[in-house]
C-alpha cells in the first residue's frame, strides 16, 4: 500500500519505531498500513487525534513516544520546522470526471485557473485539456496546501476535489468567482453565495465585538498554525480599554472555554476558525479585524 519511495526512505532512516498520522478521511487505511509495517519489523503507533493537514504534525508526540520517524499520510510538506524526520506519503485519487454538462455554467469565462487538493491532482491535466478543446484558456495551478490558495490573473477558478474546506478557502482569498467541481457527486457549484454569507458573518462578528469587554486570544500549539501576534493583539485591545487573555489550545472547541467569562474571541490559529462562530456562540475576529473595533 505504501509507495516504493516511502519504503526506501524508511529503510534509509534506520527507524525502529514509527508514528503513523492520517487525516480523518483516510483513517480506514491506517490499520492495514500499520500491519504492513509491523510485518516488515517496525514498531508502529497510530496517532488518533484529528489531523487537519501538514500544518498539524504530531512530531512532538512522536518524540515523546520514542519514535524515530513520523509517517504522515495524505499530505505534502507545508514548510513546518520538524522536530524529527517526517516522511510524507501523498494519497492520490484518480477520478474520471465528466465536464460536458458544466460547460454552460463556465460559458461567461474565457480564462480559467484550475486547481485541486493534493489527492486529486491527477484530475487537473485531463480537465485542462477538455476545457481548452472547448475554447477556454486554462492555467493549471499548484494544488492547494492547507489554507494557502494559489492565485493568478484569470476570469474564474475551478477547484476539483471533495469537501468544502479548500474551495471555500480559495473563494475567500480571491476576487474572481470560484467554482467547486465535486468529484463525488460530479456537481459544479458557484461559491459566490457561500463567500457572501461568510463575509456577512465576519462583519456581524465585528459589529458585536465593538460592544464586547472581555476577549480571549486563541493560540495553538500546532506547529504550522502558530502566530507570534498574540501579545501585540492583547496590547491593541487594552489600548481600546478592553480586557484580554491569551488562551492556548491544541484544538479549540467551545467546551474548553465554557468556564471563562468571554464576550468575543480573536483567532490567531487556523484562519478558518471564524467559520465556527455559530458553534462558539461568540463573535470570532481575525487579527486584522481589531482595528475595526
Distance in angstroms (rounded) separating the CA atoms of residues 222 and 211: 31
H or E segment and range at residue 171: helix 165-173
CA-based end-to-end distance of the chain: 53
Report residues of the chain scoring pLDDT below 70: 146
Residue 292 CB coordination number (10 Å) = 12
**Percent of the chain having pLDDT more than 70?**
100
Grid cell locating 261? 467569562
Place of cell 463575509: 199
- Nearest-angstrom CA–CA distance, 45 and 42: 10
- List, in order of start, the domains of the chain with CATH numbers: 4-89 (3.40.50.11840), 100-190 (3.40.50.11850), 199-292 (3.40.50.11860)
Quote the pLDDT of residue 145. Answer: 76
Query: Is there a contact between 59 and 70 (Cβ–Cβ < 8 Å)?
Result: yes
Residue spans of alpha helices (H) in 14-102: 30-39, 59-64
At 275 the pLDDT is 84
Considering only CA atoms, which of 176, 136, 168 is closest in space to residue 152?
Answer: 176
Q: 6-9: which pairs have CB atoms within 8 A and are 24 or more residues apart?
A: 6/71, 6/87, 6/89, 9/87
Amino acid at each position: 500500500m505504501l509507495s516504493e519511495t516511502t519504503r526506501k526512505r524508511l529503510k534509509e532512516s534506520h527507524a525502529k519505531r514509527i508514528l503513523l498520522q492520517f487525516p480523518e478521511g483516510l483513517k480506514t487505511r491506517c490499520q492495514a498500513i500499520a500491519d504492513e509495517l509491523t510485518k516488515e519489523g517496525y514498531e508502529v503507533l497510530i496517532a488518533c487525534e484529528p489531523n487537519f493537514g501538514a500544518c498539524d504534525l504530531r512530531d512532538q508526540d512522536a518524540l515523546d513516544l520514542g519514535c524515530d520517524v513520523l509517517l504522515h499520510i495524505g499530505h505534502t510538506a507545508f514548510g513546518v520546522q520538524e522536530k524529527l524526520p517526517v516522511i510524507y506519503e501523498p494519497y492520490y485519487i484518480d477520478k474520471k470526471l465528466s465536464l460536458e454538462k458544466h460547460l454552460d455554467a463556465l460559458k461567461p469565462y474565457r480564462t480559467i485557473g484550475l486547481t485541486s487538493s493534493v489527492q486529486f491532482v491527477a484530475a487537473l491535466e485531463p480537465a485542462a485539456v477538455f476545457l481548452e478543446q472547448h475554447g477556454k484558456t486554462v492555467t493549471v495551478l499548484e494544488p492547494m496546501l492547507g489554507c494557502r490558495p494559489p492565485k493568478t490573473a484569470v476570469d474564474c477558478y475551478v477547484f476539483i476535489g471533495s469537501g468544502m474546506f479548500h474551495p471555500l478557502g480559495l473563494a475567500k482569498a480571491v476576487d474572481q468567482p470560484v467554482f467547486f467541481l465535486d468529484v463525488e457527486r460530479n456537481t459544479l457549484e458557484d461559491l459566490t453565495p457561500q463567500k457572501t454569507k461568510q463575509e456577512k458573518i465576519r462583519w456581524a462578528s465585528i459589529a458585536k465585538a465593538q460592544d464586547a469587554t472581555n476577549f480571549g486570544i486563541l493560540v495553538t500549539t500546532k506547529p504550522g498554525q502558530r502566530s507570534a501576534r498574540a501579545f501585540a493583539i492583547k496590547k491593541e485591545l487594552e489600548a481600546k480599554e478592553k480586557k484580554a487573555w491569551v488562551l492556548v489550545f491544541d484544538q479549540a472547541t467551545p467546551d474548553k472555554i465554557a468556564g471563562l467569562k468571554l464576550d468575543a474571541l480573536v483567532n490567531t490559529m487556523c484562519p478558518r476558525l471564524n467559520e465556527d462562530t455559530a458553534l462558539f456562540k461568540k463573535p470570532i475576529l481575525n487579527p486584522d479585524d481589531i482595528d475595526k473595533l
